Structure 1
Amino acid sequence: MTPKTAIALLAAGVLAPAAPSWAEGAPPLDTRTAQSDLPLTGPRAAMHLLYAGLSFELDPERHYLNGNGQYQVQAREDLARLEFDLDPRFRVYSIRLEGAELAANQWSSTDGVLTIALPKGLKAGYTTLVQIAWDGSPHEAINPPWEGGIVWSETDDGQPWIATAVQGEGCDLFWPCIDHSSQGIDALDLVVTVPKGLVAAGNGRLIGTQDNGDTTSFTWQARNPSNYGVTLQVGPYELAKRSYESRFGNTIPLMFWHLPGKAEGANRLLGELEGQIAFMEDRFGPYPFGDEKVGVAETPHLGMEHQTINAYGNGYQLEANGHDWLLQHEFAHEWFANQLRPTSANDMWLAEGITTWTQPLYLAHTRGQEFYDAEMRSNRERVWSRVPLVPPEGELPDYNDREALWGDDIYFKGSWIIHTLRSLVGDEVLFPAITRLTYDTDDPRPGSIRPINRTTEDFRAILEEMSGQDLEWFFDAYLYKADLPRLVAARKGSQLELEWQTSSALPFVMPVEVQVGDEVRTVDMAGGRGRLDLGSADRDYALDPANRILKYDAAVEAAQNGKSAD
C-alpha cells in the first residue's frame, strides 16, 4: 500500500479532517468482512486453493458486478464442508460441486461466510471442484486505498474508470476467497467483461480478448497471486510498452495502461522503471514476476501494489528528486509484499517498512547520500510509537486508527528499524539477509522464484544466523514494545555516562557513536550502559551524529504535538 506523504496524510485525515467520502451513504461493511486476517479456523484453515478461475462482468451504470468462480480446492485435513469469505451484500445464486448443482439447503451465505456442505466429505490430500455464482453491488471505497473497496469513477470526458483496492478489508469485498495473508492461489485465470471501448488491465499475462458485441472480455493468467493483489482496473486505456533486458539474462515486458493523452508521462515513467529494476535487482535479487510482466495501470485513486499490475494515480508529477515516489514505492512492493508476503497483518511492517526504506536507498543511488539522509529525517517525523509495531498474538491491528497510528508506523518506523539494523549489522549482513528473507535462498534465479510467507521472527532468525549476533534485545524493544528506546546522557567532569532505557526486560545494547571535536568514537553499551572520557570537563560532544539509531527524540515529539521543543 502507499505510504502517507504530507498530501496523502491530509487525504487520509491524519493531519486534517477526513477527505469527502468516495461512497457517501454506502451501507457499512459487515464486521467480519471489514477485517482481513481473522484467525484461520475450521475449514478455512484446512483448504488450499490450487486454482481459481474468476469471471467478472461489470456494469458501470448500475455499479453492479456479476461473478462466477471455479475453484480447485485441496484438503489439508478431512473436510465435511468448505468455507469461503464473502461480503454478505452479494447474492449467491448457484453452487455446483463436481459439476452437479447443489440444492439451496446445502449451502448458506451469512455473516460474511459462505458455507458449502460436502455430501461425501473430502479426505486430506484430495481435491474437489466447486463453482460459485454471485452478483450484487460491491462495497464502494470510502478513502482508497486506505479504506478500500471498488471505485466507480469517470474520466474527464465521462467514460467509466474503475478500480479495486482491498488490502485492509480483503478479497472478500468482491469475490469468494480465503481472506488471510497466509493463503494464496497457485494459479489464476481472470476474465473481466466490460462495456465496449473499455480495457481491463489484469494480473499476469494477457491470454486473449473476445468481442461480444456490446462488451469485450479480457482473459488474464497469473501464477501465485496474493489474495488482495487480485484486482479489477478498467478504463478507456491506451498502452505504452517496451522490453527490459535484465542482468539475470531474461527479458521482461514493461507495460503501462494510461488514459488517452497521457502517453508522454507514461513513457517517461517506463524509463524510470528501467532504472528502478536495475537498482532493485542489484540490491536484492531478480524481479520476481519476469515471466509475466512489470505492469502499471492509471487509476482514480493514489495507488496500490497489485501483483504485476500496480495502481498508479500520482498524476505524472515532476518531482525535485528526479523520480516519481509513488511509482517507485509500489514497484518495490513487487519484492516486499508480492514476493515476500507477511504471514498476517501483524507482520505487515516487513512489506511496508522495507519498501519505504528502499525509497531513501534509491535516492542515495541516484542523487547521493544527502538525499538519503533528508528522506530518513522526513520519515523520522512520522514515527509515532504509540502501540507495538507487531501486535501481541491474537490481536489484530487497525490500519485506520487515528489515535494509535499503527498504519503510519508500519511505513516510517519500519523504515527506521531497517536503517538502524544497517548500522548494527552492516551492509554485508543486511542486504544478503533481506535477499534470503525474500526468496528463501541466497542465490535466486528467474524461473525458480515463488512467493513466500514470512514472519518477524523469520527475519530475526536469518539475521542472527548471518551476523552471529543474538538480536532478541533489538527485536523486543523495537517490534514488540510500543515506546522507543531513550538514550540518557549524564556528564561527570570529563566522563560522559550513557544509559539506554526501554520498556523491554532485556538490556538494550545498541552501540552509540559520539562525536568529540573532529573525532567520532563508538561507545560499547554492554548491559545497556557505557562511558566515554571526553578529555576535559567542558568539551562539547554530539550523540549519534550520523542519526543512525531510532530513539526517542523530544523535539520530534513536541513537533508532532504542534509545539516547539523547549
Structure 2
Amino acid sequence: MAQAGEESISCADNRERSWWDVREYRLTVNFDLDRRQLNGEVTIRAAVVGKSPGVLQIDLQEPMTLTGATLAGADRRPLSFSRINGHSYHIKGDFDAAGTGSFTLQLSFSGQPAEALRAPWDGGVVYARDSAGRHWWAVACQDIGASVWFPCKDVPFDEPDSVTLSYTVPEYYTAVGNGMPDQQVFNEMERTTTFTWKVRNPVNLYNITFYIGDYARMKSSYKGIKGRLPITYYCLSGHEGRARRQFRQVQPMLQCFEQKIGPYPFYADGFKIVEAPYLGMEHQGAIAYGNRYGNGYLGKDRSGSGVGLLFDFIIVHESGHEWFGNSITASDVAYSWIQEGFTSYTETILAECLFGKEQAYSYQRGKRAIILNDLPPEGTPGQCDGGSGDHYDKSAFMIHTLRTIMRDDERFYAMLRQMTDTFRHRIVDGKTIERFLLDWTGNVISPAFFDQYLRTAAIPVLCLEKSAAGYAVYWDNAVPGFRMPVLLYADGREVWVTVSTEPVPVRELHLDTEWIRLSEDILADIKFL
C-alpha cells in the first residue's frame, strides 16, 4: 500500500511534471537472465511547454536504481539527482539553457525489477522458465506502471510520439519488443544478440514491453482498409502447430473490427501476438498471449451462454484494446471504463460478426451475472483510483444499453467508427467521451445517464405502478435527472417509453395486460407496485 501522499506523486500532474512533454524514448537494456538483473540507458527527448522550476521528476520504482543523469549537449553536463520516495527521483538542472524549447536527458539505471507473482494483476517482471528449463521473461505493468523496470515520466497523460527499443540477451534467446524490427546484431565476443525495435506511433508507457525466450517466429499479413498490415506470431519453440491453428482467428477478427469500429490504428508498427508466461496484456502491436491455445477464458465461458467458447477471449479482448486503450487512451486510470468498457464490448461485436446478432446478444446478456455493483466503475482522478472492476463488464453493458435505446445499429456502428477516428492516437478524459456519446444520441438520454452507470454502484429500478387509472412508470434507485427510454414487452407487444424519476402514465399498457417484461438488453431492474 502506498504511503500517504504517494498516490498523487505517482498519478497526478505536479510542478515537476507539467512543464515538459515527452516526445521520444530511446531505451537500451542488457538483460542478465541468470542474475535477474537489468542494466540500461534511456534517452528522453522532451519539449519545454511551461516555465521550468529547475527540477523534473523521473519515476523509477525500488529496488531499481538510477545510476546517472546527463543533459545532452556539447559538454554533456552531469546532473544532480535524489530519490524522493520509493517511486521517484528529482533531477535538478537548467534544462533549457540553450533556449531551444527542448532538451535531451540521458539516464542510466540498473537493478532487479520487482517480480510479478500474479501477472497481469499485480505487475512487475515474470521470471519464468519454459518446459525445457530455459528462461522465459515478460513484463506486465498496467497497474504498477512502466517505472517498475525503466526510468520514465510514468503518467498516462504524456505519451511519447515514438520509441526505439534495443534489448541485448544471451545467444539462442529472442527479445521481442513493440513496433517493427529494425536490426539484429550478434556479438561474438559476448555471445549476445541485440534486437532493436522501432515504434513509430504514440504509445502508452505501460504498453512498452519486452518478451525474452526461445521463440519461433511465424509471419503473415492482412489486406486491410489501409493496405497491407504485417502480422507476426511468436510462440515458444515446439508450439508452432498449436499456434498456427489458434491464430487462424486473427484475420477474421481484424476484418470484423475494421468493418465495425474502424481501421487498425497502427499499420506502421504492424501487429504481433507473443506467447507470454501470463494470461494476457494489450501491449501495443505486441499482444501478450497466455490462454493455452484454447477458446474461452482459460477454457471457460465468462458469459455462461456457450458463445464464449466459440472464440479465444484473450486474442479478441487484448486485440480490441488496440482501438480502445492504445489508440484512444484514458488520461487517468479513473476513466478506465473508456478502455475496458469499449474493449469488453468488442467481444460482443466479434461474436456478432462471426455467429450472428442472436448469439452475440446471448453472450452480452450472460455477462450481466458477473457484474458486481460493488463500487462505481469510475474512480477518483489523480488518486491512482481505477474504480470498481465493473469498469469492464458493467461499462460494456452500459454501452450495450446505449445501443439498444438508440434503436439503430447502423448509427451505433457509425458512432464507434467516428469515435475511433476522432480520438485516434489521443488522450482523453471521461467527460470528453460522454459529450461525444451524448451528441450522437441526441436527447434520447440525459447526462445523468453517465452519473448513474459510472459514478454510482446502483442499478436503476423501473417501477410499474398499477392503479384504477392504468399504469404509471418511474425510476427508483436513480440519480437526480436520470432519464432513459426502455423497451417493455407486454403480452408479446413491444412498448417503448421514456422514463424519468417522476411518474408518467403509459397508455400502451392496458389494465388487462397479463404479463410485462423489461428487455434483457437494458441494464436495469423492474419492480411491480
CA distance in 1, matches of 2:324, 2:382: 24
Contact 2:226 2:267 in 1 (8 A): no
Number of equivalences: 508
SS in 1 for 2:269: coil
Q: Deviations over 1:163-217 (max 9, x none)?
A: 0000011111011111111111111110011111111111011001010132111
Q: What letter matches 1:229 in structure 2?
A: N
Aligned residue number for residue 270 of structure 1: 247
Aligned residue number for residue 411 of structure 1: 392
Aligned residue number for residue 244 of structure 1: 222
Q: What letter matches 1:93 in structure 2?
A: T
Q: What letter matches 1:264 in structure 2?
A: G
Aligned residue number for residue 303 of structure 2: none
Superposition deviation, residue 411 in structure 1 = 0.6
Which shows bigger deviation, 387-396 or 337-346?
A: 387-396
SS in 2 for 1:300: coil
2:316 is the alignment partner of 1:328? yes
CA separation of 1:56 and 1:34: change in aligned 2, threshold 3 A: farther
Equivalent residues in 2 for 1:75-154, closer than 5 Å: 75-79=48-52, 80-99=54-73, 100=75, 102=77, 106-111=80-85, 112-119=87-94, 121=96, 126-154=101-129
User: TM-score, length-normalised on structure 2?
Assistant: 0.90
Task: Give the counterpart of 1:179 among 151, 154, 157.
Answer: 154
Aligned residue number for residue 562 of structure 1: none
Equivalent residues in 2 for 1:438-517, closer than 5 Å: 438-440=420-422, 451-469=425-443, 471-493=446-468, 495-506=470-481, 508-517=482-491
SS in 1 for 2:205: coil
Aligned residue number for residue 401 of structure 2: 420
SS in 1 for 2:23: strand
CA separation of 1:528 and 1:67: change in aligned 2, threshold 3 A: farther
CA distance in 2, matches of 1:166, 1:359: 23
Q: Which runs of 5+ in 1 are unaligned?
A: 1-27, 400-405, 442-449, 555-566
Q: Deviations over 1:296-330 (max 9, x none)?
A: 10001000000000100001014574321110111
Contact 1:33 1:87 in 2 (8 A): no
Superposition deviation, residue 290 in structure 1 = 1.2
Q: What letter matches 1:212 in structure 2?
A: N
CA separation of 1:482 and 1:395: change in aligned 2, threshold 3 A: farther
Superposition deviation, residue 551 in structure 1 = 1.6
Contact 1:439 1:452 in 2 (8 A): no
Contact 2:395 2:453 in 1 (8 A): no
Aligned residue number for residue 282 of structure 2: 305
Q: Which runs of 5+ in 2 are unaligned?
A: 297-305
CA separation of 1:301 and 1:550: change in aligned 2, threshold 3 A: same
CA distance in 2, matches of 1:281, 1:74: 34
Contact 1:73 1:128 in 2 (8 A): yes
Q: What letter matches 1:202 in structure 2?
A: G
Equivalent residues in 2 for 1:291-440, closer than 5 Å: 291-318=268-295, 321-397=309-385, 406-407=388-389, 409-425=390-406, 426-440=408-422
Contact 2:491 2:515 in 1 (8 A): yes
Aligned residue number for residue 559 of structure 1: none
Q: What letter matches 1:472 in structure 2?
A: P
SS in 1 for 2:206: coil
CA distance in 2, matches of 1:150, 1:418: 34
Aligned residue number for residue 10 of structure 1: none
2:493 is the alignment partner of 1:519? yes
Task: Give the counterpart of 1:46 among 1, 19, 23.
Answer: 19
For the aligned residues, what is the CA RMSD? 2.4
Q: Deviations over 1:46-81 (max 9, x none)?
A: 221111110111112111111211111211112112
CA separation of 1:31 and 1:167: change in aligned 2, threshold 3 A: farther
Identity of aligned residues (%): 26
Q: What letter matches 2:213 in structure 1?
A: G
SS in 1 for 2:238: coil
Which shows bigger deviation, 472-481 or 124-133?
A: 124-133
CA separation of 1:36 and 1:412: change in aligned 2, threshold 3 A: farther
User: TM-score, length-normalised on structure 1?
Assistant: 0.84
